[in-house]
Chains A and B, each alone.
Chain A
Amino acid sequence: MSSGYHVNHLRELEAESIFILREVAAQFENPVLLFSGGKDSILMAYLARKAFYPARIPFPLLHIDTGHNFPETLEFRDQLVEDYGARLIVGSVQAAIDNKELVEEKGYNASRNYLQTHVLLDSLEKGKYDAALGGGRRDEEKARAKERFFSHRDEFGQWDPKNQRPELWNLFNGKKQYGEHFRVFPISNWTELDVWQYLSMENVPLPSLYFAHKRKVIRRDGTLLADCDYIPKKPTETVEEMMVRCRTIGDMTCTGVWESEATTVEEIIQEVATARQTERGGRTDDKRSETAMEDRKKQGYF
């Protein structure tokens, strides 16, 4: 009698993520959903809307604004917040620099990526959030492959990869001491291709940056970077104009863009299915050392 009952892999991933989102709402007093404006956090917000339908998402979205965002990202964010009737909280890196809490990196490859961690932890502490939902996926990066759905953080926000709670069946242990919090990753089991296939299947609106468009770029260490005021150019570097798109969306200073002709989600899926580089391959922040991601995660980065 069982043969007629099955769901495809995208529906199974969806059901799993919705289950996790509901567990977070049930197990924690004050959760928050980290929203970067990238496709993974757009997917998260979309799944959260499904999980609690017809009620509104029972927790706010938190955006850590580095001040180096693509303008398209902010525009898209504000529209989404309005459409979903969600609550948005912004943690500002620029404000922390202005208040002299942080000192900006200098040089050609200066990035505010590292400063984000400080503002993130600060925002979590100020808002007394006990669970921060993130769109991290295990297929993204080797240190993330070992991440739990419910990832415990000590009172300093640090991750201890060698001492993680075992996670079995659908039983998620979110118990914690006062002052500790959890990072929760509902889309852990999705791959880049799954995300695109799902967004396509569901016709989810996406920022224009993901689609091929004409843009002025500079070439640096094998990566194409969007030309902008935040990136000081070396004397030898010249600006070219070409058709590009983003595979991930982060800061303008460290998000590489890719030469692409893909202007629709279907064309992006084609491109992703045949891609020979990982999506984070264009992230200069991951390239600082072989364990760059693991080191940042231990400090509290997402």
Chain B
Amino acid sequence: MSEQHTELLRFSTAGSVDDGKSTLIGRLLYDSKSIFEDQYETIRETTARRGEEGVNLALLTDGLKAEREQGITIDVAYRYFATPRRKFIIADTPGHIQYTRNMVTGASTANVALILIDARHGIVEQTRRHAFIASLLQIPHLVVCINKMDLVDHSEEVYEKIKEEFSEFSYKLDVKDVHFIPISALNGDNVVDKSTNMDWYGGSTLLYYLENVHIGSDDNFIDCRFPVQFVVRPNTDEFHDYRGYAGRVAGGVFKKGDKVMVLPSGFTSEITKIDTFDGELEEAFPPMSVTLLLKDDIDVSRGDMIVRENNIPEVSQDLELMICWFHDKPLQARGKYGIKHTTQDARCVIKEIRYKLDINTLHRNEEDTEIGMNDIARIVIRTTKPLFTDIYRRNRNTGSIILIDEQTNETVAAGMVI
């Protein structure tokens, strides 16, 4: 019964078609010994069959038939590897212009965004787009890998120039923690092992960075938020009067004995027990899944939120959002959509489209309110019932929503409360 101390770190990668992203992931997996012999054999055979030389590590990450045929990545693929310090989940997203939606999806749960730049080309349109999405989705840490250093003679000058150029535009973005690393994914320089070709670089390798970046403060431990997911009522003789509110802590630290308030009713009570299968807990915090029991027999159901009396979220039917549109069918002004927020389901109407954002220039275009696939826009909605929200910047769990087309049931947009 030994508890391990390995933390979980989720990172997203995005890159242009040829900047070596798949090779980098292949390198991380290969050098950390996370590739198995049969996988290696399969890609070696496939490489040979295609008439290419060596072993194309990119084939490891291109899972679907269509992707291998076209040599591109068309969807978010998840990859896993572990070191003694951490377990890593990579959300690998394609870098093509039409796939902003995948980048946003991969970024939504990431602690770290890994941005790849081809040292020969420097900052390109896609670099700006990736950095912007990382900032929009509030990924806490950004690591910028300047790749293919072997093709620019491992030049410090080239590295410094790109670094400076990146900083020049990123100051306009809302990113807190940016880190730069010069690498060669193909040769493995500064990926897992320190490069002998770039003595001028005194920083850490990419893997060292990923193993050590501080993620303990990425969740919100201040504002207590507990969206009720499911009401547990055993109806057995042993647990006759048991009524527990199951859910995942979305913010703050709940303690036994805490005075709490239930939204939307506003009734107050006290936490008598934080229950789990493994026994009672003294406190619960993100990302734990627990069951809360309250002192008073009040009406609580799925979609309600348990909070602290002196720190309540915004309770409102009017929301101001930044959205990323995911669907071929454009956003309908004054259209009605389904909305999901924490464990709540509601409907909403689009009240106003304030502007469309050009994600390359960050220009706000108030004239253009035609919001189509992959567009980013600021909108105002009104919901059929009050939602309990925090601004996204303060809490990613209680500040995020998705919009759903009511005819097709497809998820058509991701939104962040501002």
Query: Does A10 count as interface, using CB distance less than 8 angstroms?
Result: yes
In the complex, A142 Cα to B338 Cα: how many Å? Answer: 33
CB of A134, distance to nearest CB on chain B (Å): 16
Q: Given the complex, which residues of A lie within 8 Å of B77, measured CB to CB?
A: 145-146
Name B's A-contacting residues (CB within 8 A): 1-8, 36-39, 42, 46, 62-66, 74-80, 82, 86-87, 89, 101-102, 104-105, 108-109, 216-217, 219, 221-222, 229-230, 232-236, 238-239, 242, 246-248, 253, 275-278, 285-289, 291, 302, 326, 338, 340-343, 396-397, 400-402, 404, 409-411, 414
In the complex, A26 Cα to B234 Cα: how many Å? Answer: 15
Report yes or no: B1 in contact with A8, Cβ–Cβ below 8 A. no
Within 8 A of B (CB), among A50-69: 50-56
In the complex, A25 Cα to B232 Cα: how many Å? Answer: 11
Report yes or no: B4 in contact with A8, Cβ–Cβ below 8 A. yes
Report yes or no: B401 in contact with A171, Cβ–Cβ below 8 A. yes
Q: Given the complex, which residues of A lie within 8 Å of B302, measured CB to CB?
A: 26
Name A's B-contacting residues (CB within 8 A): 1-3, 5-16, 18-19, 22-23, 25-26, 49-56, 138-139, 142-146, 161-162, 164-171, 173, 175-177, 188-189, 191, 193-194, 197, 201, 203, 275-278, 281, 290-291, 294
Across the interface, B37 reaches (CB within 8 A) one of A26, A50, A176, A276, namely A276
Q: Given the complex, which residues of A lie within 8 Å of B233, measured CB to CB?
A: 55
Report yes or no: B219 in contact with A281, Cβ–Cβ below 8 A. no
Given A26-B229, A175-B409, A278-B36, check contact A166 B102 (CB 8 Å). yes
Tell me the total A-B contact number using a CB cutoff of 8 A: 190
In the complex, A144 Cα to B234 Cα: how many Å? Answer: 35
Q: Given the complex, which residues of B lie within 8 Å of A23, measured CB to CB?
A: 229
CB nearest to A175 among chain B residues: B409
CB of A196, distance to nearest CB on chain B (Å): 12
In the complex, A166 Cα to B411 Cα: how many Å? Answer: 7
CB of B115, distance to nearest CB on chain A (Å): 20
In the complex, A10 Cα to B8 Cα: how many Å? Answer: 8
Across the interface, A146 reaches (CB within 8 A) one of B75, B89, B232, namely B75
Report yes or no: A169 in contact with B400, Cβ–Cβ below 8 A. yes
CB of B337, distance to nearest CB on chain A (Å): 12
Report yes or no: B409 in contact with A176, Cβ–Cβ below 8 A. yes
In the complex, A182 Cα to B78 Cα: how many Å? Answer: 20
In addition to A162-B66, A166-B414, 7 A-B residue pairs with Cβ atoms within 8 Å of each other are A5-B216, A22-B247, A143-B64, A165-B411, A168-B402, A276-B37, A281-B38
